[in-house]
Amino acid sequence: MRVDFPLPVKPVIQPPPMVEEVLDDRERLSLKNRIKKLMAEQDAVLVAHYYTSADLQDLAEETGGCVSDSLEMARFGHAHKAKTLIVAGVKFMGETSKILNPEKRVIMPDMGADCSLDLACPVDEFAALCDEHPDRTSVVYANTSAAVKARADWVVTSGIAAKIVKYLHGQGKKLLWAPDRHLGDYVQRVTGADMLLWQGSCVVHEAFKADGLKVLREAHPDAAVLVHPESPEAVIAMADVVGSTTQLIDAVRRLPNHEFIVATDNGIFHKMRAAAPGKILLEAPTAGEGATCVSCAHCPWMAMNGLRKLAAVLEAPIGSPGGNEILIEEDIRARAAVSIQRMLDFAAAEKAGRIQLGD
């Protein structure tokens, strides 16, 4: 049962201008060498999201780090023994690492790398909604601030959201979901749970257009359509596979199709090409009739990460403002750790077959 409380749709957050790092081969090599040396000296490992630049993704893999979705980024950083975690992604990913690893130094190439979902869910507004609905278990997407996570009962990522909501629904719980209305709506449709939905959205995924996708699919009838669930319902309705970034990459590897239409940030193409060389990848359209695309298939906050900034951060004195270290008040960190740990424990139990989700 979907609960249609008239929560106001949040105004679309205005993203910053897209500024991507452009490097020639010489500068790239010299920066990578400098960074590798600094990382070794500082016992650092690089954890990068699939939406960051090809240079950062390559560097993460060359140095024994990882490139992954937000769930695996959290798991990898937690399990790794390095004293310093470099998180190339957006702020909530750095904060999640710090929440799980208070004893480690967590740094980011750019502290301004935000997320429209996080920005659309200020903690005071979220807490007020929770207070209004004490009978509801609160489930928040990982794309939220540490303070929102600290107020929530559960944290989920797109890769595990439906499973956790299905489990909670099976326990008879009514839910309050924040902040992504499209992901919340999708999870509600597949689980049938009673969910009150916050009305935030992702500036990148919100822009995919069902009309344009229909035309592209007609031109490529054998292509499989892969959609991230932060996309609007009409786009999800045309998907052959709906999933987290990792699940979409797996689909390109696994499915027999030769062509794929991909509705998520195009930074993911770097990993998809490596996973399935020779397959044809097409960007789902963000333009067309009624186009409102402000960040056309690429996240401007993810694009703030780059090798030049990473080198500068590692060269700054440790603890100085230029060192871009994530710091979180201990009380908030400890409370946020409980709701994130619930998700990690659930993921481990489900993988081990200790949680039966039924049909």
Q: Rounded distance, CA 43 to CA 212, Å?
A: 47
Does position 201 interact with ligand 13P (CB under 6 A)? The reply is no
We find the least distance from the C-beta atom of residue 74 to ligand 13P, in angstroms, to be 10
Task: Report the residue from 57, 84, 158, 188 that binds ligand 13P according to the rule CB under 6 A.
Answer: 158
Judged by CB under 6 A, which stretch of 169-177, 196-204, 215-223, 250-258 contacts ligand SF4? 196-204
Is-contact 270 245, C-beta < 8 A?
A: no
Binding mask 49-88 for ligand 13P (x = CB under 6 A): --------------------xxx-----------------
204 or 227, CB closer to ligand SF4? 204
For 41-65, give one letter per residue: b (16+ CB within 10 A) or e: eeebbbbbbbbbbebbbbbbeebeb
Task: Report the residue from 55, 95, 114, 230 that binds ligand 13P according to the rule CB under 6 A.
Answer: 230
Partners of 3 in the beta sheet? 196
Residue nearest to ligand 13P (CB): 69
Does position 301 interact with ligand SF4 (CB under 6 A)? The reply is yes
Does position 204 interact with ligand SF4 (CB under 6 A)? The reply is yes
Three-state DSSP at 351 gives helix
Binding mask 73-92 for ligand SF4 (x = CB under 6 A): -----------------x--
Q: Rounded distance, CA 282 to CA 261, Å?
A: 5
Q: Which does 227 bind (CB under 5 to 8 A by kind): ligand SF4, ligand 13P, none?
A: none
* DSSP at 89: S
- Which residues, numbered 243-262, are part of the site for ligand 13P (CB under 6 A)? 244-245
Sheet containing 259-263: which strands, arranged edge to edge? 241-242, 224-227, 259-263, 280-283
- Which residues, numbered 114-153, are part of the site for ligand 13P (CB under 6 A)? 143
DSSP 184-251: HHHHHHHH---EEEP-B--TTGGG--HHHHHHHHHHSTTPEEEE-TTS-HHHHTT-SEE--HHHHHHH
Question: Can the peptide bond before residue 134 be classed as cis, meaning omega within 30 degrees of 0?
Answer: no
Does position 95 interact with ligand 13P (CB under 6 A)? The reply is no
Judged by CB under 6 A, which stretch of 40-48, 111-119, 146-154, 349-357 contacts ligand SF4? 111-119
- Name the residues that contact ligand 13P, by CB under 6 A: 69-71, 143, 157-159, 202, 230, 244-245
